[in-house]
Structure 1
C-alpha cells in the first residue's frame, strides 16, 4: 500500500492512489464507513495508530467508496509527514568515493569510521516540501545539487533496537531529495563539524510523493533508483548496495537514545545519484525526477528569484 499527504478542499488529507488519476481520501472513506476515528486526519495520526492504522487503511482501500474519490489533478502534494526528527546517513560507498574524488582528495578511500558504523547528521526538519513544489535557490549559493536517497519513517517508539527487529520499527519507505549547496558545503568541510548551510535552507529537503508500507518489500530492501534532470538520465543504482542497511542504522542511532514515531532517516545518496559525482550541476529552471521502484517518482523544479 502507498500513502500520501495532499491539500484538497481547504484541508490536509491522507490519501492512497487507486491509479495515476484517482486517489482515495481515507478520512472521508472512514466517515462514509461510519468509523468513529480520527486516524486519517493527518499522516502522523496514522503512524501513531501503528498496525491498527494500516489495517483500517487496508479495509477502506478494499471497499474504495467512490464518494471518497479525489481527482489527482486537483490536489497539491505535501511532504507525506513533517518529521518529528530528521537524520540523514551516508551509507553508499560509491557515492562517498566519487565525492571525495570530486572534492580533490588525493586518496578517495573512505575513513575506517565509515566502515565501522553508520555516519549521519541531523538536518532541518522544518524545511521539507513535497512533490511538484518549487525549490527556491538560496541567495548565498552558486552551485546546487540534487541527491537521490531512500528514506524510512519510524513507526514506533524504541531504544536499543536490535538490527533483526528493524522491520517492526519501520512505518514505511519514501523518496528523499537532499538538495545541497556544494559551494557552501566545501567552505564548511574543513571545520569537521558536519553540514550546516550546505544543507540548511528553506525548501532544501523534499519527501514523497508516497510512503510505501513495509509489507510490500523484503528487508533489507533492494529497490532500483534513478535520477533524471530535464528528462535526461543522470545516474542511479539500487538500495541493496547500502553498506549499512536500515537494521544497522536503527540499531546504531537508537543506542541509548529513544526514537519516536514520525522520525525520518535517509540512507544518503546512492552511487551516481547526484551531479557532483558526474561533474554536472543544476541550473535555474531545471526539473529533476527521482524515481524509486514501487514508491514512485518525486518531481520538483528549482527556481532562482530575481
Structure 2
C-alpha cells in the first residue's frame, strides 16, 4: 500500500490517505473512519502496527465512493514529522568525489594555505561512513522540524551560493526496540520513501574548514529535509536493494543510480543502531546519496529558479520548486 498525508481546499486539517492505484484518487481514511485513532495520522497508523495495516487493507479493497478524493484537488503534505531523522550512510560511494570537490572548493574560496591533497587528507576522516556498529542515536541526526512537503516551494537561503540536492532512499521505522536480533530486524521496517537531503555546499565546506563540523547548519535549514511523496509499505518492495533512481532538473536528467550501491541493508542498520540503544517507531533513515545523486559531485550548480525531481522506482517522484530568497 501507498500512504499519503494531504489536505483538501478550504480545510487545513491533515488527513491520512491511501493511494487507490487508479491514477486519480485517494481514499480519505481519516474522513471515512473519524472515530478510529489508527487513522488520525500516519504516525498513528505506524504506531498501530499490523492491526492498523490490516484495517487499511480492508478499506483499500472495499472502496467507499463517499470518501474518495481526486488527487488533482488536494495538496500533499510531508507524510509525517519524524520522531528522529538521520542518515545511516548505507550508500557511501559518493563520498570520495564529494571529498575531492570539497577540498577543491576550500582551496579556491578560502585563505586556507594547504594544498588540495592536504585538505583532502584532513577532510577524508570527517566524512567517513557514519554507519558504525556502536554509533549512538545522535549520530547524523537531522532536525525533524525542517521537513518540507512534496511539490512545495523551497527557498534557497541567501547565505549560500551553492544549494544542492541529494538523492536517497529512506526507510521508515515501524517498531521500537533495542538489541534487536538479526532474525527479526526486518520486522522493524514499516516502509520506504524518497528522501532529498538538501545541502548548502559552500556552508558545509566552510564548516569543515573552520570548526570541522561536517553538517551543522549546512543541512538543517528551513524546509531543508524532504521525504515522500508517499510511504510505501515494505511488502510492496521485496528487494529494496534493486531500485532505479533518477534526478531531473528542469526536466533534464542530471543523475541516475541504483539502490544496488548499498553496502549494507536497512536490516543491518536496525541491528547495529539498536545495539545498546533504542530505535523508535516513526524514525526516518536515509541511505546516503547514490553516486551522481548530487550536483556538487558533477561540478554543476542548480539554476535559480529550478524544478528538482527525485524519482525512485516503485515509490514515486519527490519534486520541489527552488526559488532564491528575496
What residue number does 1:2 align with? 2
- TM-superposed deviation, 1:23: 0.9
- TM-superposed deviation, 1:125: 0.6
Q: Which runs of 5+ in 2 are unaligned?
A: 104-115
What's the TM-score, normalizing by structure 1?
A: 0.92
> Across the two proteins, how many residue pairs are aligned to each other?
302
Tell me the SS of whatever aligns to 2:99: helix
Q: Does 1:251 align with 2:266?
A: no
What residue number does 2:187 align with? 168
Bigger Cα displacement from structure 2, 87-96 vs 57-66: 87-96
What residue number does 1:38 align with? 37
Tell me the SS of whatever aligns to 1:80: coil
- TM-superposed deviation, 1:139: 2.4
| Contact 2:175–2:188 (CA under 8 A) maintained in structure 1 | yes
What residue number does 1:16 align with? 18
| Contact 1:121–1:194 (CA under 8 A) maintained in structure 2 | no
Give me the whole-angstrom Cα distance separating, in 1, the residues matched to 2:285 and 2:99.
23
Q: Does 1:131 align with 2:170?
A: no
| Contact 2:89–2:130 (CA under 8 A) maintained in structure 1 | no
What residue number does 1:122 align with? 141
| Contact 2:88–2:130 (CA under 8 A) maintained in structure 1 | no
What's the TM-score, normalizing by structure 2?
A: 0.87
Q: Does 1:181 align with 2:180?
A: no
Tell me the SS of whatever aligns to 1:271: coil
Deviations 1:120-178 (A, max 9, x none): 51111100011111111112111100110111111011111234422100111011101
Tell me the SS of whatever aligns to 1:183: helix
Q: Does 1:304 align with 2:324?
A: yes
Bigger Cα displacement from structure 2, 9-18 vs 63-72: 9-18
What residue number does 2:83 align with? 84
Give me the whole-angstrom Cα distance separating, in 2, the residues matched to 1:208 and 1:163.
27
Match of 2:261 among 225, 231, 241: 241
Deviations 1:276-299 (A, max 9, x none): 111111122100000011110011
What residue number does 2:163 align with? 144
Q: Which runs of 5+ in 1 are unaligned?
A: none
Tell me the SS of whatever aligns to 2:288: strand
Give me the whole-angstrom Cα distance separating, in 2, the residues matched to 1:116 and 1:206.
21
- Cα RMSD between the aligned structures? 2.1
Deviations 1:94-130 (A, max 9, x none): 2112212222364689759639737751111100011
What residue number does 1:28 align with? 31
Q: Does 1:222 align with 2:242?
A: yes
Give me the whole-angstrom Cα distance separating, in 1, the residues matched to 2:85 and 2:232.
18
What residue number does 2:177 align with? 158
